Structure 1
Amino acid sequence: MGKLLVVGSINMDIVSTVSQFPLPGETIASVRTDFFPGGKGANQAVAAARAGADCGMIGAVGDDSFAAALLAALQQDGIATEQILRKPGSSGFAIITVNEEGENHIVLTAGANGQLTAEDAAAGAGNGADVFAVLLQNEIPWDTNFAVMSSAHSSGARVFYNPAPARAFPDHVFPLLHTLIMNETEAAVITGLAVNDEHSAKASAEWALDKGVEEVIITLGAKGCFYLNKQGQAAAVSAFKVKPVDTTAAGDTFFGAYAAASADGLSAEDALTFAAAAAALAVTKQGAQASIPNKADIEAFLQRQREK
C-alpha cells in the first residue's frame, strides 16, 4: 500500500446535543456537551489510517490547551505528525449542535488552520516519492491548497480533493486533480449543475472530466454515490441503511476510506463499497474522529451485509 499524505485542517469540535435546534433569538439547554478532535483534514487522516493506510499529515495547531490533545489524537492512530506546525493563537475549533435526528449545525473558527502557508505545506507535499496520494479539502487557505496540488502533481503523487466547504475554483486547477470527490451541494457549486440523482450526477461528473480531472465521485447521501473516470468507466454504489446518530464526519470518513482502499489496490467499485460501509458506520456514533471505524469493523459490516 502506498503512503497517503493529508494536508488540511485540525480542529477541536465542541459538540452540544440538543432535542431540537433553537429558533433565532431562542436560548435552549443542551442535553450534554462533549469535546471531540475533528477538522476535515484530521478526520480524513484518521479515516485513512483506521482503514489501513500508512498516513502522515501536514497542518497547524495553536499554542493553546487544545493543541496537545489534537496531536495526541492523531498519533494514537499512528499518523505521522512531524510536519504539523505550532502557530501563535488558538487552534481551529468548531461549535456544533446535533439534534435528535442526527443532523448538525456547525460554526467553524479557522484558528491556526488559517495560518498554514503555501511555504509550510508545499515542500512537504512535493518531496515524497513514495506518496500514493495527497488528500486536500477547503479548511486551509486556498493559496496553500493550490501550492500543494501543484507540488504533489509535479512529484507524481495523485491529488485527491474534496472541495468542502464548497467553493468554485479556476479551470487551471482541474488538470492537477486525479480524484474529485463532491456531495450534491459541492457539485452544484463547482459545476453549476443541480445534482439530485444518478442522471444529474453523471452530467456533473462529465463536466468535471472535460475540465481535466481523472476521476469524479459524487456522493448522494441516502441514494449512494456515483463514479465516472476519464476512460468512461462508471459505477453506482447504493448507501447502506443505518439509523443515524450524528452525521458530522460521514463525508470525511468516506473520503479517507476510499483513498486508503485505492492505495491498497482495490478497484474503484470495491473501494466505493468499502468507503460507503465506513461512512455508514460513522453516522451510527457521535463525534467526528470518535465515530470513525477501523478496517476490521468495516470488513465485518460488509460481511454481515453479504450474509443478509
Structure 2
Amino acid sequence: MNSKRIVVVGSANQDYLLRVPKAPGPGETTIATGLTKQPGGKGANQAVAAARLGGDVHFVGAVGRDDDGATILRNLSTDGVSIDDVRIIDQQPTGLALIWVEAAGENSITVVSGANATVTAERASSAVTRLAGQGSIVVVQGELPRDVVETTVRAATGVGARVILNLAPFLEVDAAALAAADPLVLNETEAGQLLGVPVPDASAVLAVRDRLLAIAPSVVVTLGGEGAVWGARGDDGPAGGHVPAEKVATVVDTTGAGDAFVGALAYALAGSAALADAVRLGARAGSFAITGVGAQKSYARASDRGLAAGAAS
C-alpha cells in the first residue's frame, strides 16, 4: 500500500491490568487473580496499531524520565513508530492506567495523566505543522487537554492533512474541531454524550446518523461486539452503513480494542482506502485485539489474517 504519513498526537501510559471476577464497587474490596504490566495510552496504542500494519507513523507525546517511560519508548520504536517527537519529562512521572479486566473480558479504566499533561498546544501545533502535509493523516484523542486537541486539529487542517478525531474519553471541544473531523470517531456512549440522548445500539446510531453528520463531515461509531456504524456526507445525500464485528471464539480482554480499530482505520485512510473499507479493516483489527491480553501486545501485524490486504477489499 502506498501509505501517506500518519501523525498521532496523544497519550502514552503504562497499563496495569488486574484480572478480577468483577470490578469492585463503592466500598468493596476485590481479590485480583493476576496482574500484567504493559505499555498503553490511547495515543500510543493507536500509533502502534497503525505501525504494525505497515504505516509510516510518528508519535507526538511525553513520558517521564523513569523505567515506565523507557519501556514505552522502547516498545514504540520496536513496533516501528518514530519517537523523535516524544519528550522525556523530569517533573512528572509517566502516565499510568489501572485497568480492571473482568472474567468476561470487559474492563474499567482509571487514568493518571502524569507526563501526558505536559503536552502543550504550542508543541502539538509545531509538531503537526512540521510532520504533516497535504494528504497526511493526523490522529488525536480525548486523553489530552481540550486546547491541545483543538490546536492539533487547526494545525492539521492548516497543512491540508485529514483529521481523525477520536473523542475518547468524551471531551467537550469547539464546533470547528468537530467540523474538521473526517471522520469523527466515538463509541456509542460518547455519541450519546455528544448528542445528549441515549445511543445504545446499532439501530439507535443509524437513527441519529444525520444528526451526527450535521456536526462532522463523516462519522464512525464503534459498538464493540456489534461492530461499527459509519456515515459520510455526499453530493447525493449521506451515505453509510453498518459493519458487523468479526466473531471470535473467545473474548480474552477488550482493553485497547477501540484503539486497534482507530489505528487500523488511520492506516487504511493513509493508503487512500474508502471510508467503508477503512471501517471494515478497523472492525477486523478490533476483533483480533480482543483475543489477546492488554492493548499493544494484542494488536495485529500485516501478516495476521491478511489484515493489511483487507484495507483494500
Residues 51-96 of structure 1, C-alpha deviation per residue, up to 9 Å, x if partnerless? 2211000001112221111100100111111011122221100111
- In the TM superposition, 1:194-273 aligns within 5 A as 194-211=198-215, 213-231=216-234, 232-242=238-248, 243-273=250-280
Distance 1:199 1:32, change over 3 A: closer
Structure 1 residues 52 and 123: alpha-carbon distance in aligned structure 2, compared to 1, 3 A threshold:
same
Matches within 5 A, 1:100-119: 100-119=103-122
Q: Would the aligned equivalents of 1:3 and 1:130 in 2 still touch at CA under 8 Å? A: no
C-alpha contact (below 8 Å) 1:274/1:298 kept by paired residues: no
Secondary structure of 1:187's counterpart equals helix
Match of 1:274 among 268, 277, 281: 281
Q: How does 1:15-164 map to 2 (within 5 A)?
A: 15-87=17-89, 88-127=91-130, 128-129=132-133, 132-164=136-168
Q: What is the number of equivalent residue pairs in this alignment? A: 303
Q: 1:99 to 1:4 in 2, by over 3 A?
A: same
Q: Which runs of 5+ in 1 are unaligned?
A: none
Instruction: Specify the code of the residue in structure 2 equivalent to 1:94.
Output: A
Q: Which blocks of at least 5 consecutive residues in structure 2 are unaligned?
A: none
Deviations for 1:5-38, whole angstroms, at most 9, x for unmatched residues? 0000000001111233334333333222111000
> Are the aligned partners of 1:205 and 1:217 in contact in 2 as well (CA < 8 Å)?
no
CA RMSD in angstroms, aligned pairs only = 1.9
Report the AA paired with residue 298 of structure 2. S
- Structure 1 residue 193: Cα displacement: 3.0
Q: Is the 8 A contact 1:167 1:189 kept in 2?
A: no
Specify the code of the residue in structure 1 equivalent to 2:302: K
More displaced stretch, 117-126 vs 21-30: 21-30
C-alpha distance in structure 2 between counterparts of 1:3 and 1:98, whole Å:
34
Matched residues in 1 for 2:224 and 2:52: separation? 22
Alignment of 1:281-292 (within 5 A): 281-292=288-299
TM-score by length of 1: 0.93
**SS at 1:294 equivalent:** coil
Q: Secondary structure, in 3 states, of the residue corresponding to 2:156?
A: helix
- Cα separation, 2, equivalents of 1:75 and 1:248: 21
Query: 1:187 and 1:23 mapped to 2: Cα distance?
Result: 26
User: Following the alignment from structure 1 to structure 2, what is the Cα–Cα distance between the partners of residues 51 and 130?
Assistant: 22
| TM-score normalised according to structure 2 size | 0.92
Please say if residues 277 and 301 of structure 1, whose CA atoms lie closer than 8 Å, have aligned partners that are also in contact: no
Q: 2:256 touches 2:295 (CA, 8 Å); kept in 1?
A: yes
1:228-284: CA deviation from partner (whole Å, max 9, x where unpaired): 101122121111112211101010000110110111122222222211111001001
Percent identity (aligned): 36
Amino acid paired to 1:176: A
Look up the match of 1:182: 186
